[in-house]
Structure 1
Amino acid sequence: MSARAIIIGAPRSGSGKTSVTIGLLRAFSRRGVKVRGIKTGPDYIDPGFHAAATGLEGLNLESWAMRPALIAHLLDDAAKDADLLLIESAMGLFDGIPGEPNRSGAAADLARSMNIPVLLVLDVSGQSQTAAALACGFLRYDPAVRIAAVAMNRAGSERHVRLAGDAIRALGVPLVGAVRRDAGLTLPERHLGLVQASEHPAIEAHIERLADAMERSLDLDAIHAAAAPLAIPPGSDEAMISPPGQRIAIAEDAAFTFLYPHLRRHWRRAGAELVGFSPLADEAPPADCDVCWLPGGYPELHAGRLAAAETFRAGLVRFAGTKAVHGECGGYMALGESLTDAAGKTHRMAGLLSHRTSFAERKMNLGYRQARLVDSGVLGPAGTSIRGHEFHYARVIDPGCDAPFAEIADGEGRPIGFSGGRRRLVSGTFFHAIARS
C-alpha cells in the first residue's frame, strides 16, 4: 500500500510548525506508525529534529533548487520505508520567489504538483474569529492547493478555543484540535535558527513533551485520515551532485554540521565511503581518504578551539598538498587566514585560502544562489551550473587574492558576482550546494 502524506503549513514562520511536526512525528511513532519527516525549502536544521523524533533520516525537498524529476525520485525513495510522511513547510505555505511554475521554493509547489493535502497550523494568539478569515483565505487562494484540515496553535482559554474554533468549523473545513499556549513547548533559537537537535541539552525529554501535547490536543486519527496516498510520477537522480571522491573525510562536530541528508544518502548509495572526523577534538582528516569536505556550521562560536587545534590544522594542510579540500559556508570560513568572533577577537584559521572573515559586525546574507563553476573541482567540471542556498551572518572583510570558485546570481537570475576562492586543490564558498541545474 502506498505511503500517505500531508504537508504541515502555516501563514508565516514562527507559527509553531516545527513543534507541531516534531510532536506529531513522535506521537505517530508511539502508535507504531512508520513515519518520516521531510522539510520543504533549504532549512538544514529541522531535518535533524525530524530524525531525532522518528529514528529515520530526514530529508529536504526544495522545489526551486531541485528539478521536478529529482523531487519525485527523492519522495519515492523516502516513501519506500514509511507508512506516513509529514512534510513541514518552510516559512509561509505560499512563500517563494518568482520563477517557473511549481519551482518557486514554496511548499505549495509540492502540494500542487504532487496533489498532497495540507494541514494548516494557525497561531491564534491575539485573535479569535479572525483566525477563520485567515483560514478562509487559504481555502480560496489557490484551488490546486487543498487545505484538508486546520489545527489551532497557542490557544488560550476554553472560551478562546470555542470562539476561534466555531468560526473555523463554519467554513466547512475539519478542525483537528487546538494546542494550548505553553512556553515549555518552545525550542531554543540562535542566529541561524533553532539550536540543533544534536546540541539540545535534553532533546529526548523535549520531544516526549511535544508528543504528549499533540496527543492531548489534536485528533491523530483525523490527521492520518486527512493525509492522502501518494501518487508519485517517474523520477530521476540525474541532477544529483555526484560524490566528490570515493572515500570522503567529512568534518562532523558542533562547528561543522550542515550537510544535506539527500547528498549524504546519495553519496553512500553511489559507493562512496563517508569518514567522519572532529576538528574540535583536534583530529586531522584521515590520510587514507581522497577528498576532505568541511560542511557549514558554527565555526564562529568555536573559533578559539579551532585556532588551538594544531593537529587538525597541520593535518589539513598536509592533506591539501595532494588531495582536494572543499569548504561550504562555515567550512569556507575555516579555510581562510582568520576568523574574527563576536567579541572582536581574531583567530588564526587554516590559511589554505587567503580571505578573512568576521562575525563581529554581523550582516545577514540569505537567499537562493545559481552558481556557474569557474574551474573543474569537487562539484563538477568547469561551467557546471549548481543551485544552492546561502544563509550566514559572517562577512568577508578581506577577499584575499585567490581565484574565484564560482560566478553566482540570485534565485531570479540577477548577477551577484564571483563567490568563494580556489587555490590549487583547495576550494570554498559561502553557498551550500543542493543540486545541479
Structure 2
Amino acid sequence: MALIIAGERSGVGKTTVTLALLSYLSKRGLQVQSFKVGPDYIDPMFHKYVTNRACRNLDPVLTSESYVKKCFYKYSRLSEYTLIEGVMGLFDGVKTSPLPLSLVRRGVDNFASTAHIAKLLNLPVLLVIDCSRLSGSVAAIVHGYSSFDKDIQIAGVVLNRVGSDRHLSLLKNSLQSLPIPIIGVLKRQDNITIRDRHLGLVPTAEIPELNQLIDKLANLGENCFDWENLLPLLQNTEISPPSPPSSPTHSLPKIAVAYDKAFNFYYQDNLDLLQELGAELIFWSPLKDKNLPKDIRGMYFGGGFPEVFAQQLAENNRTRDAVKAAIVSGMPTIAECGGLMYLCEQIVDMNGKSWEMVGVLPTKSVMDKRLTLGYRRATALQDSLLVDAGKTIYGHEFHRSSLIVDSDKPLYQTYRFDCDEFMGKEGWNSPPNIHASYIHMHWGNSREIPQKFVDKCRVFDSLGNVKDYLNLTPFPSP
C-alpha cells in the first residue's frame, strides 16, 4: 500500500505535510520510498535529503502511463513504506488531445493530475486543507472533493494552519457529518518556513539550517498525526530485494555531470539510464573545480540557478575555457535550461549586470520577471545529438530568462502540450555535438535518447581527440 498527499489547491502545505511524515519515519529508522507527481526538481531534493533515497518523478506527460506504473512498482517494493507527494490541486491536470492514443487510456480527464495518478495506481489520497480562512465551510469542501470522482478514495484529511483550539473545535464539528477521518492537525507554524525565490523553494544545498528544519518537521510528524490510522496506509505488504546491476558489455565512457549549487536539476531516472546503458558518471562542480574531470568523453549540464551564482561561474574562467575547448573539439554535450545559459556568451542577472560564460553559443541569456512555464510538445527540425529529424518529444519549461539571439539552426518547433498553440523555434544544435535547450526531458519512456548520447560518447572515446588537453596537470585549487 502507499498513500498520496494531495491538496485542495496549490499552496495549502502539501510539501510541509509530506516532509513532516518523511522526516518522522526516517527519524525512526524506517525505510521509506518517496515519489513526486509532476516535473518538479526541488521537492524531490528535500525528499532525498530526508530519506537518503532518490525520489522518483511520476509524470505521464514526460513519460507515459505505463512508465509511471513501472517506475512506481519497481521502487516502492524496495522499501517498508511509500509516500507520494501530489502536484497543485487534486484534480488540476492538462488536456490529452496532442498525445498519441497509445500513451493514454481513453476517457482520462485531468491528465497528469494527482487524481489521475491515484486512479492509475489505485491508491488512497490524504487531502490537505488550508483552514486559515475556514470554519464550517470545511465540510462542504471535503464533501465536494470526496464525491466529485467516485473512483478517488479520500482516506482522510489533514487540517493545516489551524489558528486555535476553538478554531479546531469548529472544524471538527463541521466534519462530524462526513465519514472521512481527520488524520492530522497542524497549527500555524510560523517558525517552520522553507525559503523560496523566483523558481520556487531554495534547494537543499543552499540552506545551512536544513538539519534543524528537518528536526522540527520530524517533531511535527510525530505529534500532529494519527499514526494508528496512518501507518497501515503507508506500509508495503510485499518487499522485494533490489535486482543486481547488469554488467556492461562495452567500454565505459566517462560523462561529466555538472552537480553543485548552480546545476542540480536532474531526474534520477535519467542518471540511472545513462549508467544502465554503459556510462560512468563523474560528478563535478563548474563553480569550484579548476579543471574538467580526467578522461571524460561527454558532458551533461542540467538545469539549476546559474544566474544566482553567475559571478562565481564567471570568475572560474579556467574551467570555462576547458569546457569551451572540449566542446569545440567535438565532445558530445547536453545542456538543459541552466546548462544552456552557462554555454552562452553571457548571463545578464536580475540586477542587469553581465557575467562572462563559456561562449560556445553566440547569444546572451537575460533574466526578467516573465515566467515561462508549461509542458511542451516539440518536433525536431533536424538530426541532432539526441533526436532525429521529425521526432516528437514531450518536455517541460520553467525559467525566467530568455535569449537575445535565437539559433539559425533551431532544434525544435514547439507547441503547448495541451493545444496546438505555436510557441516558437528553440534550442541550439550548432556545433552538432551540442544539444542545448530550455526544454527539460525525462528519458524514462524514450530510452533511445540516452542510448544515442552514450553511443556518441563512446565513439568520441575511441577518437580521443582532446585527450592530451584534458589530461593536463589540473589547475591549482584556490
- TM-score (norm. length: structure 2): 0.84
Q: Contact 1:6/1:119 (CA < 8 Å) preserved in 2?
A: yes
Alignment of 1:367-382 (within 5 A): 367-382=374-389
Q: Contact 2:62/2:441 (CA < 8 Å) preserved in 1?
A: no
Q: Does 1:77 align with 2:74?
A: yes
> Higher mean Cα deviation, 15-24 or 382-391?
382-391
Distance 2:392 2:206 in 1: 34
Candidates 327, 330, 335, aligned match of 1:322: 330
Aligned partner of 1:280 in structure 2 is 287
For structure 2, the 5+ residue unaligned runs are: 97-103, 239-251, 447-478
Candidates 91, 95, 99, aligned match of 2:92: 95
Counterpart residue identity of residue 59, structure 2: E
> What is the number of residues matched between the two proteins?
420
Q: Contact 2:91/2:110 (CA < 8 Å) preserved in 1?
A: no
Q: Does 1:18 align with 2:15?
A: yes
Q: Contact 1:10/1:93 (CA < 8 Å) preserved in 2?
A: yes
Distance 1:286 1:423 in 2: 24
Q: Contact 2:256/2:283 (CA < 8 Å) preserved in 1?
A: yes
Aligned partner of 1:173 in structure 2 is 180
Distance 1:86 1:114 in 2: 13
1:170 Cα offset (Å): 1.9
Q: Does 1:406 align with 2:412?
A: yes
Q: Does 1:30 align with 2:37?
A: no
1:427 Cα offset (Å): 2.6
Aligned partner of 1:185 in structure 2 is 192
Distance 1:291 1:169 in 2: 61
Counterpart residue identity of residue 253, structure 1: D
Candidates 252, 268, 272, aligned match of 2:275: 268
Alignment of 1:26-425 (within 5 A): 26-99=23-96, 100=104, 101=108, 104-227=111-234, 246-320=253-327, 321-359=329-367, 361-399=368-406, 401-414=407-420, 415-424=422-431, 425=433
Q: Contact 1:282/1:310 (CA < 8 Å) preserved in 2?
A: no
Q: Deviations over 1:285-308 (max 9, x none)?
A: 335122111110111111122222
Q: Deviations over 1:376-406 (max 9, x none)?
A: 334333333221110011122232x441122
Rate the CA distance shift 1:124–1:52 in 2: closer, same or farther, 3 A: same
- TM-score (norm. length: structure 1): 0.91
Q: Deviations over 1:167-216 (max 9, x none)?
A: 22321101113111111122111111011112211112111101101211
Rate the CA distance shift 1:378–1:246 in 2: closer, same or farther, 3 A: farther
Distance 2:129 2:405 in 1: 45
Which secondary structure does the structure 2 equivalent of 1:338 belong to? Answer: strand
1:32 Cα offset (Å): 3.8
Aligned partner of 1:239 in structure 2 is none
Q: Contact 2:79/2:236 (CA < 8 Å) preserved in 1?
A: no
1:136 Cα offset (Å): 0.8
Which secondary structure does the structure 2 equivalent of 1:37 belong to? Answer: strand
Q: Deviations over 1:207-259 (max 9, x none)?
A: 1101101211111221123348689xxxxxxxxxxxxx932111111111101
Q: Deviations over 1:337-382 (max 9, x none)?
A: 21111111112221111121111x3210000011222333343333
Rate the CA distance shift 1:98–1:299 in 2: closer, same or farther, 3 A: same
Which secondary structure does the structure 1 equivalent of 2:66 belong to? Answer: helix
> Higher mean Cα deviation, 220-229 or 49-58?
220-229
Q: Contact 2:156/2:180 (CA < 8 Å) preserved in 1?
A: yes
Q: Contact 1:402/1:422 (CA < 8 Å) preserved in 2?
A: no
Which secondary structure does the structure 2 equivalent of 1:313 belong to? Answer: helix
Counterpart residue identity of residue 407, structure 1: Q
Distance 2:291 2:181 in 1: 55
Identity %: 34
Which secondary structure does the structure 2 equivalent of 1:394 belong to? Answer: strand
Q: Contact 2:77/2:236 (CA < 8 Å) preserved in 1?
A: no
1:102 Cα offset (Å): 6.2
Structure 1 stretches of 4+ moved >4 Å: 227-231
Distance 2:295 2:391 in 1: 28
Q: Deviations over 1:83-113 (max 9, x none)?
A: 2111001111111111152672211111111
Which secondary structure does the structure 1 equivalent of 2:264 belong to? Answer: strand
Structure exhibiting the larger radius of gyration computed from Cα positions: 2
1:282 Cα offset (Å): 4.4
> Higher mean Cα deviation, 278-287 or 65-74?
278-287
Distance 1:105 1:384 in 2: 22
Cα RMSD after superposing both structures: 2.0
Aligned partner of 2:440 in structure 1 is 432
